[in-house]
Amino acid sequence: MLPDYTLVIHGGAGEEIMLNTQVTGIIEFALQTALTLGSQVLQQGGKSLDAVQRSVEALEDCFLFNAGKGSVFNKDGKNEMEATIIDGSSKRSGSVASARCVMEESSHSLIVGDGAEEFLQGLEKKEKPVVPEYFYTDIRHRELIANLSGRAKSINNHPQTVGAVALDCWNGLAAASSTGGLVGKLKGRVGDTAIVGAGIYADDKIALTCSGDGDVFLRNTVAQKIASLYHNESYGLRQACREVMTEHLNGICAGIISVNTKGDAIVEANAGVFFVMSWLPT
């Protein structure tokens, strides 16, 4: 028998929104599918890194989440996305549209813009590019029009960033996250998802990923502060999350999932909606 494992996934934090039964059902099905796929990796003795990647990729394929297919548009009507994956054991990370490739195939941690596209084109493995049409959805286009015309009631009126954290049977931790950012954002805007220590973090003792107002997470290095409290101040996992949320995220739309090497899983949020599912040790 393989030891127990832990997997927690989220579909984003947002303001209070009205979801009909059909939409809620689709979201729950997508989360369950992503959790199942990631859990299968761990059940078979796979690594946490592969599990979080598999879960996040599954959520990216659901048009209702603001990641991958269904990502929101910038002011120029283009989809710009960001993603990060972190191997806690080696403390290696990669950030961009094909985050794991950056981690494993380059000496860098973050590549953006034209450089990211050229990097992917030059890979010997030749990752299959995704055509722009894959990301487009009518829902997001209508949100962009409403945002630019000033009719939008909220910039966070839909599921946001997706993410996953996992502990495998080898005691390895990993985290992954993906987002399309804010509706109508400026071209080239990068939020907390692509910055290790802002909206995502993992090492050999803790893994966490966040969702909410990315610029606030970025300015306050939220993920790093949580990890520092957990490591250096003898805070428990939940206590560390709550301390940072109280001090830096009071009144801010925010959600955090985290796991440690004991298999403790924490979900903390001060958002109207935070979509979460988990597989915990028995």
274, 211 contact by CB (below 8 A): yes
For residue 273, which phi and psi values (nearest 5 degrees)?
-140, 135
Cα(223)–Cα(214) distance, integer angstroms: 12
Residue with tokens 């973090």: 201
* Active site members: 161
* 21-43 vs 48-60: helix crossing angle, rounded to 10: 160
Count of other CB atoms within 10 angstroms of residue 224 = 16
Q: Where are the beta strands (DSSP E) in 142-251?
A: 162-167, 173-179, 200-202, 206-212
Say if residues 192 and 217 touch (Cβ distance below 8 Å): yes
Joined tokens for residue 238: 């939940």
Identify whether the C-beta of residue 160 lies closer than 8 Å to the C-beta of residue 212: yes
DSSP summary character for residue 194: G
Tokens found for residue 115: 């450089």
How far is the C-alpha of 250 from the C-alpha of 253, rounded, in Å?
9
* Secondary structure of residue 65 in the 3-state scheme: coil
